[in-house]
Structure 1
Amino acid sequence: MVIFTLVTLYVLGVAAARAQSSPLPSWNEGAAKSAIVEFIARVTRDGGPDFVPAAARIATFDNDGTLWCEQPLYFQAVFALDRVKTSRRSIPNGKKQQPFKAFLSGDNAELAAQGEKGALGLLAVSHGGMTTNAFATFVAEWLSEAKHPRFNRPYNTLIYQPMVELLDYLRTNGFKTFIVSGGGVEFMRVWAEKAYGIPPEQVVGSSGATQFTMGADGKPVLMKLTKVEFIDDGPGKPSGINRFIGRRPIFAFGNSDGDLQMLQWTAAGSGPRFAGIVHHTDGEREYAYDRRSKIGKLDKALDEARLRGWTVVDMKQDWKTIFPERSEEAKP
C-alpha cells in the first residue's frame, strides 16, 4: 500500500509538473495550438531542416481584435471621441466631412464604418498643436479612468490572455515580437510594453506628422500636427514592416481583412512560414463577428486562410479564457 501510494504520488507529481510547464496554458488542446507549438519547435531545432537563426525569427501581430478587444468601437476611436468632447478646439468643416459629421450627429454606426482611419482623423484634429509628451499623458490618464461599456473594465485590461502567452512563448524561443497595427503608434506605445512585453521601438502603427521646435522653456519638443502621415493598414502593413523592421516576418497573426496583406507577405517568403487569424466566435465571453461587421471585418482573409491552409483560431473552441484575471488591472 505504501509503495502504491508513493507511485501514485509520483505519477501525479509528474503530471502536475508537466501541466505547469506546458506551453500556452490558456489554450485548449487542438489543431491551432498544435500548429503553433510544432512550428516554433521546427524553426528553433538546431540542426533541423527548418531551423531559422534567431536574427530571422521575426513575429508580427496586429493589435485591434488580435491582441485586445476591438468591439463595439475601436478603443482608440473611443479615446478620440472622448478627447474631442472635452476639447475646446473647433472641428473644421465638421458638418460636411467625415468622421466629424458622424461624431457631431451622434451617428455611431457611421463612426464604426469610418474605422481606424476615422479615429486617426479625430485624433489629428483634437491633438494637433500639442507635444508628444502631452499626448502620452492624455492617453495614460484616459486609460486610468475610462471603462469598457460592456465589461466595466479599463480598456488596457481587455487584452487576450492566450495571445499574451503566445508572445511570451515566442520570445522564450528566440523570436523578436512586433506590433504592426492600423492604430496610432503613439497611442499604443504608451501602454503596449506593460500589456504585451513589446517595447516602443517594436511598435509599428499609423502615425501623424510631427515637427521639432523649441518650447517656451527653451527645451526642444516634438509638436503633433493636424496631418496623418502614414496609414499602417491593409497594403500599408507590408510597407510598414519593410520601412520600420527591415526583415520579412516568418510568423504573423491578424484577425481581419486589414491584416490580409501582412499575412500574404509573411506566407510568401522562403522557408517555413506561419500565418494565423483570430476568428471571433464567442459571443458570450467576448463578441462573435466576421464577414458583416464594420469593425474588424473578416471576409476575404478568412477565405484566403482556408484556401492556403493558414491557422484559424476559433476563439470559442481554442481559448480556455479570454481576458486576464481582474486582479491584474493596473494603470499603464
Structure 2
Amino acid sequence: MDRILALARAAALAVVLPVAALAQDLASWNDGATKTAIVDFVKAATTEGGPGWIAPEDRIAVFDNDGTLWTEQPAYFQAFFVFDRVKEMAPRHPEWKEQPPFKYVLENDMAGLASSGEKGLMELLAATHAGMTDEGFDDILEKWLAEARHPKSQRPYTEMIYAPMVEMLDYLRANGFQTWIVSGGGIDFMRPWAEKAYGIPPQQVVGSQIAKDYEVIDGKPQFMRKPDIFFIDDGAGKPVGIDRHIGRRPVMAFGNSDGDFQMLEYTTTGEGPRLGVIVHHTDAEREYAYDRDSHFGKLDKALDAAPERGWLLVDMAKDWSRVYPDAK
C-alpha cells in the first residue's frame, strides 16, 4: 500500500511540478495577486482530476491585439499605416484636401479624425486597403513595417509588443493552451507578422475583414481586395468572429478596452472554469496612462464591470517589471 501511495504522489507531482516551474517563465510579471491568480488558474486547468481541470481540446485563450499585446497610443498602429497610405496616395486624389475624413489625415487633425468615428475609419480603410491583390497588399505592408517608426519611441512598430504578454502566450502554450488573436484590427494587417512577434500562426488570427473576390489573373488564382468592409471584429462582433473561426467558446480572454467587453462576457459566462483578464494602462512613464476618456482603447464599462464579474485587472505599473522587450 505504501508503494502505491508513493507512486500516486509521484504521479501527482509529475502533473503539478512542470506548471509550477513554467510559472517562472513569467519573468516580466511581478509577484502579486494578479500573477498568482493566473498561475493558479493554469495550474488547476492542467491538474487532471482536480476541480479546475480543463480538457486539452477546450484550452482556448483569446487575446485582443491593440492595447493588449502591443501599444495602441497615440493611435492604433494600423491607423498610422492608413495615414501614411493616404499621404502617399493623395497626389492622385486632389479632392481629398476638402473631403473628410481624408482632409483630417492630410492636416494631421487627430481631433477631427476622432470625430469622424468608425464610419470615417472604414472609409479610410476601404480607400487604402483595396484595389489590389492580397500579395500586393502584403508587399506594401512589409515595406511599411520595415521603415515606419513609432512617433514616441522611434522603434519599429513590431518592437512595441508587450514583453509580459509574449511571456504569457508562451506560458499558456507550454501548458497546452491554444492562443488566438481576436482583434478589431484588420486580419490581413496582423497575419503577416503575428507569428514572428507572438508565436501565433496566421490561421489563429481573427480580425476585421475587407471584402474580396477570387480571380484568376494572368493564369494565377488570386484574391482581389474590394473597397467594402466584410466584417468588423469589435464589440459584439468578437464573439461572432470567435464562433466563425474557432468554433469553441474560449476559457480565457485577455482584453484592455470596452471593445473587448462582449468577448470577456462570452468567455466567462460559459460552464466550468473561466478567466477574464483586462490590461489596465496605468503606466505613464514607461508607456501611457489612460482608460475612460481615451479616443483609442477606451476602458469605462468594462472597468466598472470587472470586480462584479471577477475579471482580473492587470495594473501595468505595478504588475509588470518591464513593458517592452529589449531593442534589437
TM-score, structure 2 normalization: 0.89
Of 148-157 and 304-313, deviating more is: 304-313
Per the alignment, residue 158 of structure 2 pairs with 156
Contact 1:117 1:231 in 2 (8 A): no
Distance of 2:266 and 2:274 partners within structure 1: 10
Letter in 2 for 1:249: P
Q: Tell me, in whole angstroms, the C-alpha distance in 2 between the residues paired with 1:26 and 1:115.
A: 36
Alpha-carbon distance, 1:323 to partner: 0.4
In structure 1, the partner of 2:189 is: 187
- Residue 314 (str. 1) matches residue 311 (str. 2): no
For 1:263, the equivalent position in structure 2 comes to 264
1:61 maps to which of 47, 63, 74? 63
Who is 1:139 aligned against?
141
Distance 1:175 1:78, change over 3 A: same
Question: Distance between the aligned counterparts of 2:326 and 2:68, measured in 1?
Answer: 18
Q: Are the equivalent residues in 2 in contact too, given 1:91–1:125 (CA < 8 A)?
A: no
Q: Which runs of 5+ in 2 are unaligned?
A: 1-19
2:182 and 2:55 map into 1 onto residues whose CA distance is: 22
Aligned-partner SS, 1:190: helix
Secondary structure at the aligned position of 1:325 is classed as: coil
Query: Is the alpha carbon distance of 1:290 and 1:114 closer, same or farther for their aligned partners in structure 2, counting shifts above 3 Å?
Result: farther
Match of 2:93 among 75, 90, 99: 90
Q: Secondary structure at the match of 1:212?
A: strand
Partner of 1:6: none
Indicate the residue corresponding to 2:74 in structure 1. 72
Per the TM alignment, residue 122 of structure 1 is displaced from its structure 2 partner at its CA by 1.4
**Does 2:247 match 1:246?**
yes
Deviation at 1:145, TM superposition (A): 0.3
The letter for the 2-side match of 1:293 is S
- Mapping of residues 1-40 of structure 1, within 5 Å: 22-40=24-42
Cα deviation, residue 221, structure 1: 1.1
Distance 1:268 1:45 in 2: 22
Instruction: Note the alpha carbon deviations across 1:21-73, whole angstroms, 9 max, x for none.
Output: 71311000011101110000011101112211111001000000000000001
Verify the 8 A CA contact 2:41 2:52 in the aligned structure 1: no
Write the distance in 2 (CA, Å) between the matches of 1:282 and 1:174.
31
Give, as a single letter, the amino acid of the residue that structure 2 aligns with 1:288.
A
Go from structure 1 to structure 2 and tell me whether the alpha carbon gap of 1:302 and 1:149 turns closer, same or farther (over 3 Å shift).
Answer: same
Residue identity (%): 58
Q: 1:117/1:48 Cα in 2 relative to 1: closer, same or farther (>3 Å)? A: farther
Equivalences, count: 308
Query: Would you identify which runs of 4 or more consecutive aligned residues in structure 1 move more than 6 Å?
Result: 18-21, 91-94
- Unmatched tracts of structure 1, length 5 or more: 1-17, 328-332
Structure 1 residues 294 and 211 mapped into 2: Cα distance closer, same or farther (>3 Å)? same
Query: Alpha carbon RMSD of aligned pairs, Å?
Result: 1.9
Normalised by the size of structure 1, how large is the TM-score? Answer: 0.88
CA deviation after TM superposition for structure 1 residue 188, in Å? 0.2
